[in-house]
């Protein structure tokens, strides 16, 4: 149902499957036959898990039992007994502009050798930070996605929603240099033996560049660079609605998290612009 009717992406389907299988392992009876009492009894077993994980599993169970009830497979809905966990959206990890610049210096130095892997890594970094792409969006780009002279690309993001994202001249140049090394039959911009570069490999590449730049690898991931893209744009005066469009967020509440991250700019704004800041003491 999620695949054919809701149009859920492959990663979403995998997440639902993992959460339902995890719940099934913690139950003594088959998941589809579980009672409300059995579902409530999951809470002590999940006490050590993060609130976000419990919330995700609870949502998966609710969706699953809603489906069983809608299809007439069950007349009741035991998921009604589940308590929604209190969730707090964590602040995203970010890098400051100097740290990002150090990563670019390392990547550019390596790319100067002309080695194909180094050219690829620089192109990946330019698109991650310069366009704010998600990891899956980036590694699955078709070969002709970035075209010379076209300052944007259109892609289908999370949930299949299309959006237009900017491509800087630096990113376009890096992609062009990398594309020259690709074989004629390559269909992906970042190909691999199994199709395209995996998200795991992208994660490894980004962390390796960070380590060379003197940044603790555990602080860096492709998504951290996406957060840096958003935070640094907001600090530069970008409009929140424009940022929502660029990031492909369905709900602006998701984008608003970056207003909490950029606290230094907000404090400075109050100190400089508030009427009392200019009033004599």
- Give the side-chain half-sphere CA count within 13 A for 38: 16
134 is catalytic: yes
Q: Which entry of 56, 163, 226, 227 is annotated as an active-site residue?
A: 226
129 is catalytic: no
Q: Which entry of 93, 110, 223, 265 is annotated as an active-site residue?
A: 223
Nearest-CA neighbor of 101 among 232, 200, 12? 232
Q: Which entry of 120, 163, 196, 249 is annotated as an active-site residue?
A: 249
Cα–Cα distance for residue pair 133/117, rounded to 1 Å:
20
Q: Which entry of 93, 158, 201, 265 is annotated as an active-site residue?
A: 158
Are residues 15 and 3 in contact, defined by beta-carbon separation less than 8 angstroms? no
Long-range contacts of 147-153 (CB under 8 A, 24+ apart): 148/172, 148/176
> Can you spell out the DSSP letters for 38-106?
HHHTHHHHTTTS-HHHHHHHHHHHHHHHHHHHHTTS-SS-GGGGPPPPP--PPPPP---HHHHHHHHHH
The helix-helix angle for 169-179 and 116-131 (nearest 10°) equals 150
CA 173 to centroid of chain Cα atoms: 25
H or E stretch at 166: strand 162-166
226 is catalytic: yes
- Give the side-chain half-sphere CA count within 13 A for 248: 19
Nearest-CA neighbor of 220 among 232, 209, 230? 209
249 is catalytic: yes
Nearest-CA neighbor of 98 among 230, 268, 209, 228? 228
Q: Which entry of 134, 196, 207, 227 is annotated as an active-site residue?
A: 134
Q: Which residues are catalytic?
A: 134, 158, 223, 226, 249, 258
């Amino acid at each position: 149902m999620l695949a054919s009717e809701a149009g859920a992406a492959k990663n979403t389907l995998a997440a639902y499957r993992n959460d339902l299988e995890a719940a099934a392992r913690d139950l003594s009876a088959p998941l589809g036959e579980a009672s409300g009492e059995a579902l409530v009894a999951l809470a002590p077993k999940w006490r050590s898990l993060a609130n976000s994980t419990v919330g995700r599993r609870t949502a998966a169970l609710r969706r699953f039992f809603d489906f069983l009830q809608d299809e007439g497979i069950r007349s009741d809905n035991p998921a009604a007994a589940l308590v929604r966990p209190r969730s707090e959206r964590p602040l995203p990890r970010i890098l400051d502009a100097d740290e990002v610049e150090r990563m670019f210096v390392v990547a550019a130095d390596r790319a100067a050798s002309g080695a194909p892997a180094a050219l690829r890594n620089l192109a990946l970094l330019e698109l991650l930070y310069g366009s704010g792409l998600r990891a899956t969006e980036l590694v699955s780009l078709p070969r002709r996605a970035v075209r010379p002279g076209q300052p944007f690309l259109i892609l289908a993001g999370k949930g299949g929603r299309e959006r237009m994202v900017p491509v800087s001249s630096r990113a376009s140049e890096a992609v062009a240099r990398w594309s020259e090394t690709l074989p004629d039959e390559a269909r992906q911009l970042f190909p691999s033996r199994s199709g395209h570069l995996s998200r795991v490999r992208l994660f490894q590449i980004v962390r390796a560049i960070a380590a060379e730049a003197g940044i603790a690898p555990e602080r860096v991931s492709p998504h951290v660079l996406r957060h840096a893209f958003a935070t640094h744009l907001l600090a530069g005066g970008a409009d929140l609605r424009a940022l929502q469009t660029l990031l492909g967020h369905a709900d602006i509440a998701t984008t608003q998290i970056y207003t909490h991250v950029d606290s230094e700019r907000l404090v400075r704004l109050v100190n400089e612009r508030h009427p009392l800041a200019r009033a004599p003491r």
